[in-house]
Amino acid sequence: MTPCDKILKAALDHKADIIGLSGLITPSLDEMIFVAKEMERLAIKIPLLIGGATTSRTHTAVKIAPRYSAPVIHVLDASKSVVVCSQLLDENLKDEYFEEIMEEYEDIRQDHYESLKERRYLTLSQARKNGFHIDWLSEPPPVKPTFLGTRVFEDYDLRKLVAYIDWKPFFDVWQLRGKYPNRSFPKIFEDKTVGEEAKKVYEDAQNMLEVLIDQKKLRARGVVGFWPAQSVEDDIHLYAEDATPQAAEPIATFHGLRQQAEKDSASTDAYHCLSDFIAPLHSGVRDYLGLFAVACFGVEELSRAYEQECDDYSSIMVKALGDRLAEAFAEELHERVRRELWAYCRCEQLDVADLRRLRYEGIRPAPGYPSQPDHSEKLTMWKLADVERCTGIRLTESLAMAPASAVSGLYFSNLKSKYFSVGKISKDQIEDYALRKNMSVAEVEKWLGPILGYDTE
């Protein structure tokens, strides 16, 4: 994360017309608020653009814009920033444009605060009573993995991964989006508007991919691990290989978050938590949990080299391909886990299209994503599997993974496990979660800001 003082110094030194902040993970949101406050304190009047995967128009309007009297505008993606910048830099248009934005953001703030009043939540104890319940004694017993502990994969064969690449996000990088029925790959090539450009970019990608693999310019490394595991309410305790869980101390604990937003009165849906998919300690049923971390190395060095040659196209291309290869690595490895490493689905026969549609058994949720929005759970993963030493994948101060072309997550084998979104949660769960994690409520609120069902101010 680039420090605030460095950003502002560069903006002033270079007499910037506009400052742009991009955030990929939750801690970036607090940093953006801090930057806006500092700009106001220093009486800077440069327009501030907000973007990135973790940002939203609502968060910008509610949390950032009120801290800064100059224009603060959320930009959905890079292509939209051109229009915004042209309006902000046009002396005849900028004042009227800023007034429109201020009015729009005031409406968003009012709608947000009204929605907070209208939302209803179960208490945490009620949500737990209405959790997803599995009859563990009547279900087939959990399958024991073929090994316990970790296994490292050095210099993984990139050619094995190419067939698993999901190309749709690749085209999204280039802002190439076909219209129905030509949104998916390879139908995008038939789209009247972007089809030809998509073909060209895809051909360039194939050529670069061939060179990257042939000349070993990129390398893939990863680690997989499995441990005995039991759930205790919303937490999952992991144990040493030879331990008896009922009599042993856990070697690690993954903390879960449970859905609390009240569902429709006619709904029979459960209030899910990831711990629901692991056999409870009191059941006497032995269960297991897995984890993985994979990455594509060499991407950032190549990207910088292309930038130095003023070849922005190739710089973006290699980053896009690195991200796709890392995701493909996660997909291919999960298939191996199901069929041979954990082997709970030895006879699985799915094609790549089936994998895209999540038709496999089990799940691989990641910290920082909807089923467990807390990025700090990665710290437990990294310590348990010694991920940085085994693979070279490290966690930054904001708990993003480095290199950026990296994917990590947990493996659940239960056939009833599924992906879900925790959604907004109330303060009683935040307080309970802080106690379980031995963190302050304020620190938990920082990490879970986007899912708080209440205003902290």
Using one digit for the tens of pLDDT, what is the confidence trace for 243-263?
A: 999 999 999 999 999 999 998
Distance of CA 257 to the CA centre of its chain: 16
Q: How close are the terminal C-alpha atoms of the chain, in Å?
A: 25
Number of domains into which the chain is organized: 2
Model confidence at 25: pLDDT above 80: no
Residue 74: which H helix or E strand, with range? strand 72-74
Q: Within a 10 A sphere around the Cβ of 435, how many other Cβ atoms? A: 11
pLDDT digit string, tens, across residues 291-317? 999 999 999 999 999 999 999 999 999
CB 54 within 8 A of CB 26: yes
Give me the pLDDT at residue 365, please.
98
| Residue 179 near residue 171 (C-beta atoms within 8 A) | no
For residues 375 and 399, the answer to whether their CB atoms sit within 8 Å is yes
Same domain, 113 and 132: no
Q: Amino acid identity, residue 105? A: Y
Residues 6+ apart with CB under 8 A from 171: 177, 185, 188, 194, 198, 201, 202
Chain-centroid distance, C-alpha 74: 20
Is residue 207, in this structure, part of any structural domain at all? no
pLDDT of residue 334: 98
Same domain, 113 and 127: no
Residue 284 and residue 411 in one domain? yes
186 pLDDT higher than 80: yes
Would 233 be classed as within a structural domain? yes
Confidence (pLDDT) at 79: 65
d(CA 267, CA 401): 38
pLDDT for position 87:
85
Place of tokens 């110094």: 9
Rounded CA separation 88/96 (Å): 10
State whether 143 and 247 are in the same domain.
yes
Smallest CA-to-CA distance from 172 within 337, 340, 324 is with 324
Q: For residues 240 and 146, state if they share a domain.
A: yes
Residues 49 and 146 in one domain: no
Domain that holds residue 28: 4-118
For residues 54 and 302, which has the higher predicted lDDT (pLDDT)? 302
Q: Detail the DSSP E strand segments found in 248-380.
A: 252-255, 287-297
At 274, which CATH number? 3.10.196.10
Residues 114 and 128 in one domain: no
The domain that contains 102 carries what CATH number? Answer: 3.40.50.280
Query: Quick check: is 185 in a domain?
Result: no
Confidence of residue 52 (pLDDT cuts 50, 70, 90): confident
Tell whether the torsion through CA atoms of 294, 78, 162 and 178 is positive or negative: positive
State whether 139 and 284 are in the same domain. yes
The share of the chain scoring above pLDDT 70, in percent, equals 99
**Exposed/middle/buried for residue 27 (C-beta within 10 Å: 0-12, 13-18, 19+):** buried
